[in-house]
Structure 1
């Protein structure tokens, strides 16, 4: 039994090393610019182990993408249930943004890589959109309809508001280099999150006022 536990721990350590190396190399060189051999070499493992754990480079990519979205949607679902209780629309949207930004800061390189990959048009991206991102859309619609139920939003108003809100949350991690090099901001830093959330709160307050007048 003890030997079995040791083998499991060793296997998990090897798997984690492969994931860490793959993410690092994918971030530096892009998915197409990295070979399985390079990943194995960086992780210090046999090439065959990449196929053993993930079924190859494509399986490793799918693992990384799914890991990000599982954590992201879990954060969205858990936070949404809390913030919808006795909070103003602006405070609710700000607190949810806070938790989603924290999640992406904690998994900064994974977030950056996944968001970049999602800009490509391929079978995997289409599958992720039809599963994870459709669920994300449903959760956002549920939230916005709850927060703005008195405003009788037209579908197009609701959808544009959600797209804009989501873009505020995702953009710093899709284009962190743009934030750093052009505006000298560091999306991975806690100080950025604090300042950025002040702006998101102002945006949410303005959205609430505009929808009330609509």
Structure 2
């Protein structure tokens, strides 16, 4: 138990520093100092900074996909619109509760690297599958393939925009309550967009 707590302290410290200074701008010493642990402990647990990054991102995405699957299972008897709305809330809530790591990951995903390609194949493809299937069911069959693709791209954009342009929100979201309020308000704006497009396309 103590080992898990210590590992999480290191991951939290690394997430904060990667967010502030970037991966290459952060040293193992910086992480150890922030987490109040010995440098050798990071090497012992993670085999270095790259191992720590991979551990943090893997845990992030595995928990993220677990939340998505839980939401889909929980709402399996509901309408496609309801299920999609609940899924959007789940996604934004998870990302906001892991705000710094989410922002860092989104920044890394804008780069072409082996790490990014691995993330895309392993995790993002699965996220894409769940979202696209439900979104297409919500929008309806009367919409052309191209229109669905463009609308889906817009939806994906809304799910990542706060974490790419996070500096625009920096002064407005301070403290847990503000994060919770942001989740509610931002999710509602996406749900209104979905409702509008579903109504238009089904006319």
Q: Normalising to structure 1: TM-score of the pair?
A: 0.82
The structure-2 alpha-carbon separation of the partners of 1:102 and 1:59, relative to structure 1 and needing over 3 Å to count, comes to: same
**Structure-1 residue corresponding to 2:162:** 172
Kept in 2, the 8 Å contact 1:83–1:96? The answer is no
Q: Helix, strand or coil for the counterpart of 1:132?
A: helix
| Counterpart among 78, 96, 101 of residue 110 in structure 1 | 101
Kept in 1, the 8 Å contact 2:28–2:39? The answer is yes
**Structure-2 residue corresponding to 1:207:** 197
Report the Cα distance in structure 2 between the residues aligned to 1:75 and 1:46, rounded to whole angstroms.
Answer: 33
Q: Helix, strand or coil for the counterpart of 2:24?
A: helix
Q: Helix, strand or coil for the counterpart of 1:203?
A: helix
> Which structure has the bigger radius of gyration?
1
| Counterpart among 9, 14, 21 of residue 6 in structure 2 | 14
Kept in 2, the 8 Å contact 1:54–1:60? The answer is yes
Report the Cα distance in structure 1 between the residues aligned to 2:70 and 2:108, rounded to whole angstroms.
Answer: 26
Deviation at 1:140, TM superposition (A): 1.6
The structure-2 alpha-carbon separation of the partners of 1:171 and 1:164, relative to structure 1 and needing over 3 Å to count, comes to: same
| Counterpart among 44, 48, 51 of residue 59 in structure 1 | 51
Report the Cα distance in structure 2 between the residues aligned to 1:153 and 1:53, rounded to whole angstroms.
Answer: 51
Deviation at 1:108, TM superposition (A): 1.7
| C-alpha RMSD of the superposition | 2.2
1:80 aligned to 2:72? Answer: yes
Report the Cα distance in structure 1 between the residues aligned to 2:108 and 2:10, rounded to whole angstroms.
Answer: 19
Q: Extract unaligned runs of 5+ from structure 2.
A: none
Q: Normalising to structure 2: TM-score of the pair?
A: 0.86
Kept in 2, the 8 Å contact 1:84–1:143? The answer is no
Report the Cα distance in structure 2 between the residues aligned to 1:96 and 1:162, rounded to whole angstroms.
Answer: 14
Kept in 2, the 8 Å contact 1:108–1:173? The answer is yes
Q: Extract unaligned runs of 5+ from structure 1.
A: 1-8
Q: Helix, strand or coil for the counterpart of 1:32?
A: coil
